[in-house]
Amino acid sequence: MSDKTIENLMNEAREYDPPQEMLEQANLTAEKYEQACRDAELDPEGFWAERARKLLDWKRDFSTTLESDSEKHEYKWFGGGRLNASENCLDRHLKNGRRNKAALIWQGEPEEDVRVFTYHMLHRKVCRFANVLKKMGVSKGDRVAIYLPMVPELAISMLACARIGAVHSVIFAGFSAVSLQNRIIDCDAKILIAADGVLRGGKKILLKRNVDEALFECPSVEQVIMVKRTGDEIDFIEGRDTWWHEELSASDIEDFCKPESMRSDDPLFILHTSGSTGKAKGIEHTTGGYMTIVAHTAKWVFDLKDDDVHWCTADIGWITGHSYSVYGPLALGATTLLFEGVPTYPRPDRYWEIINRYGVNIFYTTPTAIRALMREGSQWTEKYDLSTLRILGSVGEPINPEVWVWFYEHVGKGKLPVLDTWWQTETGGILISPLPYVGKLKPGSTGKPLPGIKTKIVNNDGSNASTNEGGHLLITEPWPGMLSSIHKDRARYNRTYFERFPGSYETGDGARIDEEGFHWIMGRLDDVINVSGHRLGTTEIESALIAHPDVTEAAVVGIPHEIKGQTVYAYVTLRSGLDQDEEMRMALRDWVGKKIGPIAIPETIQFSEGLPKTRSGKIVRRILRRIAAGEDDLGDTATLSDASVINDLIEGQKILFE
Ligand code: PRX
């Protein structure tokens, strides 16, 4: 740990001096960066068109770069263009000398479980699986749900869907049966690809039961393709369930599958994320725009090179894994590493051991993981030669400056750039980030917007915030890779992102910009909390709690947590006469785990007889948040219909923590 105060760290910029040879071979040198900024300023469309043409193979060139209708919030990128994402990630590398290069290295949780796929091998698997999907009647535009842990079949399934123009919808394997069901119903998936179970932290977690429970009411799903991972005995539903390995090796499955020619604005995938209402939003991404932003940022932010092993530790069930474990690195023909396990099992050196074993060059992870590993001590990092590392990245939540410094000093040995990258499920790829070999780094800041990305910070009334003043972070110009819609809910798309601040995209984040243009993300401004970098809607958790027969009212807020960034704190009112005891807390925690998934389980449940409300009956979360965090100043309480509940809540909290 550094002995500097946090305040000093916050204000300190690190002049990172990369070795000369790095500077010379950088994909984006300082000089090229200046040029890119000028180009993007003068002719943004020309800038993006050039990037799209340079980085991707188009079956048919596009005729327009951007067609916008700002009234309808429609932004169509690369109109007239045709391409296929899987072809860009695979086929072109068979012809350019990368055929026998490792495309994907998979490290299972047990040390001996390793699988390596060259580009040729991955191409073959993807083609064969695409043919399996076709045989099952999946065609262009159909939705395929994927509920798989971190196994190679997950990436193969996504690429196979992309190959035939089916739209994949990956559902994080940590989600419960109910969450799985909601997401499948929302996208009307025709096929579900799932696994018998997952190995995590030394335990087996069975998934098939969740599948069967979820499919109880999912009429759209015709077939389930099961990947064997744990090998446990599972119930098979005749006529519906089949084995992946049997389907893939069937004699009528051919080795090649012709990639569909997709329009640039054809959907590539749907990925659900939490919003400020109970229902998750199905974020839709299109083919051309999304592939452009991920290839572009992998090239410039991660400076990806042919010899690199790129390791993004995020689960593919979230956007980070989509963009920087699968599509970004493979589009550039790099080697991507997937890891099934957790950072601390069997020992807290697992990440460092993997970096050492595979010679990882780019390591992209989350503040939560770094905090957890930092707590274990730097002796674990010192055990290994980590000298292949070239770039360190962080994403998903604010990284505290002292954690940034630990990462920089103990993993980067004081020599490597730490890139705190800001983006969202909706943005498709990184939009605000330092660049590895350009300019300085400030611990705790996400740097400046990338060339071509324009931001501003505004007050509640839409007026511009001053330098260093916190406000709403907006993106003021369209970019390739922006979401095209919320599946089946255009009105929500308009409302959430475009209506409050006309002409801009509203991120939902609070931020400030300092005098040098560096961005400092302050957290969500809506009812979304960020637990270990995972987005959860407070209303989603409240709805789950309220659905419990013993609960009459519930309010959920996020509070700061040393490792996870934030945790869930729930205020619950029970039906009268019920015991407010530990047993009830356990039952409710278990219930939320089943309704949403383990990540949403409240760390704290405080029983309360009432909640602070306005006279119109709206729960005042601001106050609940402050009480939960133990703050003395609760702000303005004059608008409450009954201020006496506040004392009860404070007293209740004292008893809870006694
Ligand atoms: O609040 C911001 C936070 O994560 C949110 C997006 O979450 P999600 O769509 O799940 O995507 C996460 C990975 C891209 C943002 O609105 N966030 C993301 N990156 C950062 C961040 N907060 C602070 N610093 C970051 N670098």
**Tens digit of pLDDT for each residue in 336-370?**
999 999 999 999 999 999 999 999 999 999 999 99
Alpha carbon nearest to ligand 1 atom 6, residue = 424
For residue 576, count CB atoms less than 10 angstroms from its CB and return exposed for 0-12, middle for 13-18, buried for 19 or more: exposed
For the chain, how many helices (H) and strands (E)? 23, 30
In CATH terms, the superfamily for domain 532-656 is: ANL, C-terminal domain (3.30.300.30)
Q: What are the strands, taking DSSP E only, across 171-329?
A: 191-195, 197-200, 203-206, 223-227, 241-243, 262-263, 267-273, 281-286, 309-312
Would you state the pLDDT for residue 1? 39
- Read off the pLDDT of each residue in 116-127 and give the average, rounded to a whole number: 98
SS3 label, residue 443: coil
Listed by start position, the domains of the chain span: 3-512, 532-656
Alpha carbon nearest to ligand 1 atom 21, residue = 397
Residue 320 beta carbon below 6 angstroms from any ligand 1 atom: yes
Lowest-confidence range among 24-28, 206-210, 312-316, 318-322? Answer: 24-28
Question: Distance (Å, rounded) from C-alpha 33 to C-alpha 40?
Answer: 10
Predicted confidence band at 106 (pLDDT cuts at 50, 70, 90)?
A: very high
Residue 65 beta carbon below 6 angstroms from any ligand 1 atom: no
**Tens digit of pLDDT for each residue in 171-203?**
999 999 999 999 999 999 999 999 999 999 999
Predicted confidence band at 632 (pLDDT cuts at 50, 70, 90)?
A: confident
> What average pLDDT does the chain have?
94
The answer, yes or no, to whether residue 6 has pLDDT greater than 80, is no
Comparing CA positions, the residue from 420, 296, 303, 408 lying closest to residue 23 is: 303
Residue 521 beta carbon below 6 angstroms from any ligand 1 atom: yes
How long, in residues, is the chain?
Answer: 658
Residue 444 beta carbon below 6 angstroms from any ligand 1 atom: no
How many Å lie between the centroid of ligand 1 and the Cα of residue 310?
A: 20
Strand 223-227 relative to strand 241-243: parallel, antiparallel, unpaired? parallel
**Tens digit of pLDDT for each residue in 130-166?**
999 999 999 999 999 999 999 999 999 999 999 999 9
- Read off the pLDDT of each residue in 298-325 and give the average, rounded to a whole number: 97
Lowest-confidence range among 18-22, 253-257, 274-278, 300-304? Answer: 274-278
The answer, yes or no, to whether residue 10 has pLDDT greater than 60, is no
- 263 in Cβ contact with 76 (< 8 Å): no
Q: Structure pTM?
A: 0.93
- Mutation choice for ligand 1 from 535, 536, 538, 564, CB with most ligand atoms inside 8 A: 535
The answer, yes or no, to whether residue 430 has pLDDT greater than 70, is yes
The answer, yes or no, to whether residue 2 has pLDDT greater than 60, is no
Q: Under 8 Å CB-to-CB from 300, ≥6 apart: which residues?
A: 27, 28, 435, 450
The answer, yes or no, to whether residue 3 has pLDDT greater than 50, is no
Alpha carbon nearest to ligand 1 atom 10, residue = 535
Alpha carbon nearest to ligand 1 atom 4, residue = 396
Phi, psi dihedrals of residue 506, rounded to the nearest 5°: -95, 120
Residue 420 beta carbon below 6 angstroms from any ligand 1 atom: yes
Helices (H), 477-576: 490-494, 538-546
Cis peptide preceding 560, ω within 30 of 0: no
Give the CATH number of domain 3-512; options: 2.60.40.10, 3.40.50.2300, 3.40.50.12780, 3.20.20.70.
Answer: 3.40.50.12780
